[in-house]
Amino acid sequence: MTTDRPHMLTEDFEAVARIAARERVGTRLEFIDGVIRSKAMPDGDHQMIIQWLTRICMQYRPELWLHPGQGIKAQEYRAGRAIPDAALAPSKAFVGQGDWVDPDPILMAVEVTSWDSDTRRRDHVEKPRTYAETRIPVYLLIDRAKCEVSVYSQPNGQRYESVHVVAYGKDVELPDPVGITLQTEVLKDWVR
């Protein structure tokens, strides 16, 4: 389960992911640390959180777009493949790149926790490490089980140097290069 000995080559994973997506509607596969993982389909509340965040980003950063579900080349040497729930980048950043895009223009990766059994490992351990290795400046994690928002920033190529966690209802700043403050009270409406 290390990047030294992946279960398969990245090119083989991409072929498997294309076939799976074609054969089973809603199948979303990721390739992190050389291991294939499935990603749960978002529910209605999950989608509302992404809509809410999209509106805020459009209001404060109209030159950018919150790209939902865009596959990205991730981890060191871009051997991994991750699908953040959304990626904040210039609106035309991924034109002509295909299913798995270069992460360099991404300012922020966003994950909203799901209710599946491996969400803790995936969203709190694997994804922060993966996005830090890729040097995405900000990782925003909206944890619906804990009713918390975590903002990871200052990637050093292995991990994020800064992690700021607030409970739903408190304002949280998304640091530069994002530069937006989120008022999280509304997130209380989208928990079980």
pLDDT digits (tens, 9 = 90+) for 132-172: 999 999 999 999 999 999 999 999 999 999 999 999 999 99
Q: What is the pLDDT of residue 3?
A: 45
Pairing of strands 138-143, 108-112: parallel
Count how many residues are written for the chain: 192
Rg of the chain on CA atoms, in Å: 16
Q: Which residue has the tokens 């498997």?
A: 16
CA–CA separation, 87 vs 69, rounded Å?
A: 8
Kindly state the average pLDDT of the residues 8-31.
70
Of 42, 33, 45, the residue nearest 4 (C-alpha): 33
Terminal C-alpha separation, the chain: 33
Give the model confidence (pLDDT) of 49-77 as tens digits: 999 999 999 999 999 999 998 999 987 65
* Helix or strand holding residue 190 (H, E): none
CATH class of 42-190: alpha beta
pLDDT of residue 17 exceeding 90, the answer is: no
